Amino acid sequence: MSRLAGILGRASRALLAVLCTVGAPVGASAATDTAGEDPRHLQLFVAAPYIDLRTGPGRGYPVTQVVARGESLDVIFRRTDYFKVRTVRGIEGWAAARDLQDALLADGSRFTLDLGDRTGFQAHDWELGAFAGDFDGASLVSLYGARSINEHLKVELSASQYLGEQRSGWMVEAGVTHVFAPEWRLSPFITLGGGVFRVDEDAQRPNLVDRTDESAYAGVGVRFYLTRRFFLRGEYKERIVFTSRNDNEELKEWKVGLAFFF
């Protein structure tokens, strides 16, 4: 169990690192909306009656400056849902992305920004997630990444490790997922794919030998939108392992976890 806890810890830290990386620069959608300009050098004009500037990227930081309607701001960079900006007087601070939704660009057009809402949940380019569950009686941890072809179809790559009393090993697999009704907050999906299935030798279980086999799976699952860019995902799979002894194994798996899209 200590080994499993270590794997879970590493998976969580890896997911957190990716989250921070994704939130660091101004998003790609902002760059698209500004017709190819460098998003780190955007000039925005406040359209709301005023916006608050804080000392850091969060509501817990104090407000030190108020910028009135019509004043300009230079965008320096983005962190999560806040932009670091500089006023015409050279004062720097952090503005909430939501407060800048109605800001204007230099040409008078509206500045639009993907805040990671239900619309983004329905249609996005990438998603990443970390899971835990059961693999034929063994404890399972898994990481996955997916690239969207369209709102319904995604191509996925996953890496998993399982630890149990009967056997331990890992899997690397690729597949396709079809999402039904992606506009629903709770949206079901089906998934098909295959990959490499590995069983590791264990000194405590001399009947086990190192072996690597091919596998294929079919599964069903659901996604549930939480908030911003986060959603829960749960799935059940039935897998066939094609062994060299021609006595193929049928194994069952379920897992749940947290994922995010960008």
Q: What is the pLDDT of residue 8?
A: 45
SS3 content of the chain, % helix, strand, coil (to 5): 15, 55, 30
Q: What is the mean pLDDT of residues 21-45?
A: 50
Dihedral Cα 246, 252, 257, 261, nearest 10 deg: 50
Question: Looking at domain 28-113, what is its CATH homologous superfamily?
Answer: SH3 Domains (2.30.30.40)
Architecture per CATH, 2-22+120-261: Beta Barrel (2.40)
Give 169-185 pLDDT, tens digit per residue. 999 999 999 999 999 99
Indicate if the pLDDT at residue 31 is higher than 60: no
Mean pLDDT, rounded, of the chain: 84
Give 78-105 pLDDT, tens digit per residue. 887 789 999 999 999 999 988 888 899 9
Contacts of 117 (CB under 8 A, 6+ apart): 228
Q: What is the pLDDT of residue 195?
A: 97
Between CA 187 and CA 23 the distance in angstroms is: 26
Indicate if the pLDDT at residue 142 is higher than 70: yes
**Cβ-based burial of 114 (10 A; exposed 0-12, middle 13-18, buried ≥19):** middle
Phi, psi angles (nearest 5°) of residue 173: -140, 155
Q: What is the pLDDT of residue 9?
A: 55
Q: What is the pLDDT of residue 13?
A: 55
Q: Where are the domains of the chain?
A: 2-22+120-261, 28-113
DSSP letter for each residue of 77-124: EEETTEEEEEETTS-EEEEEGGGGTT-B-TTSPBP------HHHHHS-
Q: What is the pLDDT of residue 22?
A: 42
Contacts of 156 (CB under 8 A, 6+ apart): 144, 145, 146, 147, 174, 175, 176, 177, 191, 193
Q: What is the pLDDT of residue 184?
A: 94
For residue 6, name the pLDDT band (cuts at 50, 70, 90).
Answer: low
Give 207-226 pLDDT, tens digit per residue. 666 889 999 999 999 999 99
Lowest mean pLDDT among 15-24, 43-52, 211-220, 244-253: 15-24
Between CA 24 and CA 229 the distance in angstroms is: 15
Q: What is the pLDDT of residue 251?
A: 95
Q: What pairing do the DSSP bridges indicate for beta strands 72-79 and 63-68?
A: unpaired
